Amino acid sequence: MLSHDICILGAGPGGATAALHLANAGHRCLLLDRATFPRDKICGDALSGKVLMELKRISESLPPLLAASPMQVPSLGIDFFAPNGRQLSIPFKPNFNKALDRPAGHVAKRLDFDNFLVEEVRQRPEIDFRENVDVVRTERTATGWLLLDKAGQEVATCRLLLVANGAQSEFARKVAGHALEPEHHCAGLRTYYQGVTGLSPDNFIELHFIKDFLPGYLWVFPLPNGQANVGVGMLSKAVADRKINLRKQLDEMLATHPTLGPRFAQAERLGPVRGFGLPLGSKRRALSGANYLLLGDAGSLIDPFSGEGISHAMVSGRHAANWAAQAVAKDDFSPEFLKNYDVAVYNRLWQELRLSRAMQRLLNFPSLFNIVANRAANNPTLAETLSAMFMDLDLRERLRQPSFYFKLLFGGKKRTPLKG
């Protein structure tokens, strides 16, 4: 049986990022995953600018290594399609020069991106990485945790457990008490297509807010070799209340929508339509407890508006590595000390999650959403805000300024009232 100070459950972006930061700081850890890599993960496959910055924080070499890989296409922005059909194109970087600048984002299948990170893990002797190890039960010990597999065999013990085993994490539910709440949970479907027409030459990712499908949305993300990731997402509460068949709705929209129908008329679906659930970061939850930290999807840190979770998982992985190292150094794994991790993660993400929650609520009011989309076309502040949600731009200071909200709603500079 293996014994470590720090054990990480799950080698996705959150777990792998935590392991790599620990290795960079000279700390050993045990990293376990029930799968053998490469393995698929149901996702939209978009890698935002925030992902690139988290890669850079691991190693300066990783962003250019990703950009040179055939597994990805560079994505220069995002196209929002409002319920009234208005297209709002938001570049990730204003005045981007394709010849000189590095891509501001990418799209790559999670099968490939997660393996990209795992290949970095494999090169680090500080990380004891074990695949095909399915930890199905955890038991408290006097000093931490005992991990057991499906046969009841003891796998490892540790003093601190970093839980990064995804949206369906049994630990998050049973130990941390993260109940599935339909108002803070998204149901989604994803499939792959070949031959979708009308994709952006600059690989802008597409988010379609179709009137009859609100408060859900449909996405089309371009991939290498002429493929595209296509899917839908909607709050689980809305799906249940309206008794919506997401699979049927997806097929109908791709066949009959006046804009999407012609683009998919000759496209070929590759493989099955697969479903997934996403615990959203629209509610602040505890991310730590005695001898454990929750990372990424296991911590319910997914963006409520865009569904983006990779960068948030990596942010949490970076902070988890920092506070795990401090906990080992201080020999303090108490809930009180580990709450510093919660503070660090929410200090970085909470304002953005709140803003995304507010934008998510707009989906209940199509006419208001149309107004926002129309204004954004002529409102640099709103356009920059939408762009910043997908980049590593720190919105926190702007969100604290009253003038920001005036510009967000009305654009331009606040006028000085006339005197007299």
Query: Percent of the chain scored above 70 by pLDDT?
Result: 89
* Residue 93, helix vs strand vs coil: coil
CB-based contacts of 379, cutoff 8 Å, min separation 6: 407, 408, 410, 411, 412
Domain boundaries, the chain: 2-72+107-179+282-355
Structure tokens at 302: 């997914």
- Write the DSSP string, 258-325: TTHHHHHTT-EEEEEEEEEEEEBTTS----EETTEEE-GGGGT-B-TTT---HHHHHHHHHHHHHHHH
Helices (H), 96-179: 110-122, 170-174
pLDDT for res 388: 63
C-alpha distances in Å from residue 106, one per residue of 110, 131, 225, 274, 288: 12, 27, 14, 22, 32
The span from the CA of 288 to the CA of 293, in Å, is: 4
pLDDT for res 397: 57
pLDDT for res 287: 98
CB-based contacts of 127, cutoff 8 Å, min separation 6: 19, 20, 22, 23, 28, 29, 31, 121
Query: pLDDT per residue over 145-162, tens digit each?
Result: 999 999 999 999 999 999
Query: pLDDT per residue over 25-46, tens digit each?
Result: 999 999 999 999 999 999 999 9
Query: pLDDT per residue over 341-399, tens digit each?
Result: 999 999 999 988 988 888 788 778 878 777 777 776 677 666 666 666 555 555 555 65
CA 341 from centre of chain:
19
Residue 63, pLDDT above cutoff 60: yes
Evaluate whether 111 touches 42 at the Cβ level (below 8 Å). Answer: no
Confidence of residue 22 (pLDDT cuts 50, 70, 90): very high
Query: Best-predicted range by mean pLDDT among 12-26, 35-49, 86-100, 382-396?
Result: 12-26
Does domain 2-72+107-179+282-355 match CATH 3.50.50.60? yes
Question: Taking the C-alpha atoms of 284, 301, 170 and 216 in order, what is their torsion angle to the nearest 10 degrees?
Answer: 100
Residue 81, pLDDT above cutoff 70: yes
On average, the pLDDT of the chain sits at: 90
